[in-house]
A = this chain, B = another copy of it.
Amino acid sequence: MTQATLAPGPYQSCFRCFGVPAAGSSHGEAVSCGARYPITEVRTRCERCGGLLDVEHDLLALQKTSGASWRALFDQRALRAPFPYTSGVWGKKEWVCPDLPDSAIVSLGEGHTPLVPMPRLGAELGVPDLWIKQCGHNPTGSFKDLGMTVLVSMVQHLRMLGRPVPAVACASTGDTSAALAAYCARAGLRAVVFLPAGQLSDEQLSQPLAHFATTVALSTDFDGCMALVAQFCQRHGVYLANSMNPLRIEGQKTLSCEIAQQLDWQPPDWVVVPGGNLGHTTALGRGFELLRALGLCQKTPRLLVAQAASAAPLYQAFKQKWHFTPLVAQPTLASAIRIGNPVNVHKAIAVLRRLDGAVELATEDELARAFVLGDQHGLYCDPHTGVALAALAKQRAAELIRAEDRVVVVSTAHGLKFGALKRAHHQGDPSQASGAAGTPGAAPAAPRNPPLRVAAELAALEDALLPRLL
């Protein structure tokens, strides 16, 4: 389809995204070649220049509604609207995918997760005005649901338009496959999940099996799975649900809206987010920019991206004036962000430059101490949230973040996905300290809370417990 025939409304536009500086850009900053495609066209890269795609909204049309009117609409829908407008994503449908018919929307009630003030934990980290955004309270236990509801709804729409889509597929070892499987199950669509055999934890395997996704264990690593799924999808018209798909970013950017909304439309000074493939970072930053552009908020927060030291390509770029070089990621407990060549790195760098963002890293010890500390305060942290808390503490110590700043830490997944890791840590069984094969065998040095074994007699109990209660 040529550009002349595009209907009004959001397009997919090219976002050039090279690993090296492109002609006319500095340090890999993105410049679009100008190509545009309809939102319903199934493609992952620009056919003209090979760049990634972005969804581009008609900002002038959106600006015809005042910031106050948008705020009132979003507030009202959050509680008192017909399903799926109570969803945190679909309550902002005009900003996400305005032309999608409501009948195509596939929602499990994602979004509107709690934003919890953590003053005691914050005081320990040096920032008493600390809040945790609990994305792990989404239906499948991670923030991935915010994007997956949009992607699967678009597939449903394509099918309603009569396009043949035999299945939706992804390669993943964790949260993405869970979200894809659940939303496809909800919609009655076939999902196919490609996993590297023997390289994922039990928790990660349970979700696609339970949702009856065709779950294929391949005798290769994650990169091998990714290459095969791309080939297979291309050849057989299967819809590829990978991180390049710009629709997922559209859903994920509603997270910024929720944070602002929950803070009475006053964005915090800082948002701290773990960074892997960097779609989430991109979405967060763009969401806050949109809030300002449309008059809902007066300012944007700064972003601190937190990476595991074993897999910190964005940190390296930050230290090199945003000059990015891919690297080979090493094992880390924060397995979901073990990525050396993030697919959305240039989108993320562009938004971080605009929002004066920063990047910090956490060693295995630092991230383990931090997630254990979070649990001690009543959170149930995944290791990635540990990376974010550790990075926050370091940047507070370095005084980039001030003691009086309001800080929101995005907790990306529920700790229930990492029960085996926690149990092994507290029981002191280093061989089990990692959920997935290929991550470190040694449990880092964070405090432990092993269970006590006591005979079933009052005297024995008193001997064991009374010294601890004094």
Contact = CB atoms under 8 A, between A and B. Distances in A.
Given A217-B451, A416-B203, A108 B116 contact: yes
A137 to B, nearest CB: 5
A112 B109 contact: no
Determine how many copies of this chain the complex contains.
2
Tell which of A210, A218, A220 has the most Cβ of chain B within 10 Å. Answer: A210
A117 B186 CA distance: 11
A261 interface: yes
Contacts of A216: 451-452, 454, 461, 464-465
Nearest to A209: B426
A452 B114 contact: no
Contacts of A423: 202, 205-206, 209
Contacts of A166: 469-470
Tell which of A75, A86, A141 has the most Cβ of chain B within 10 Å. Answer: A141
A225 B456 CA distance: 8
Tell which of A116, A422, A458 has the most Cβ of chain B within 10 Å. Answer: A116
Contacts of A431: none
A299 interface: no
B83 A75 contact: no
Contact of A206 (B182, B228, B419): B419
A453 interface: yes
Interface stretch (A42-50, A290-298, A376-384): A376-384
Chain A: number of interface residues, binned into ranges: 35 or more
Contact of A75 (B79, B182, B197): B79
A140 B426 CA distance: 18
Contact of A375 (B210, B264, B464): B210
A205 B451 contact: yes
A48 to B, nearest CB: 28
A415 interface: yes
Interface string A350-384: 00000000000000000000001001111010000
A453 B114 contact: no
A242 to B, nearest CB: 17
Contacts of A214: 452, 465, 468
Interface stretch (A28-36, A94-102, A231-239, A401-409): A231-239
Contacts of A264: 80
A139 interface: yes
A167 interface: yes
Given A417-B416, A458-B231, A461-B228, A79 B261 contact: yes
In the A-B complex, the 9 residue pairs with the closest CB atoms: A109-B114, A186-B378, A220-B456, A416-B416, A206-B419, A185-B378, A209-B426, A210-B375, A215-B451
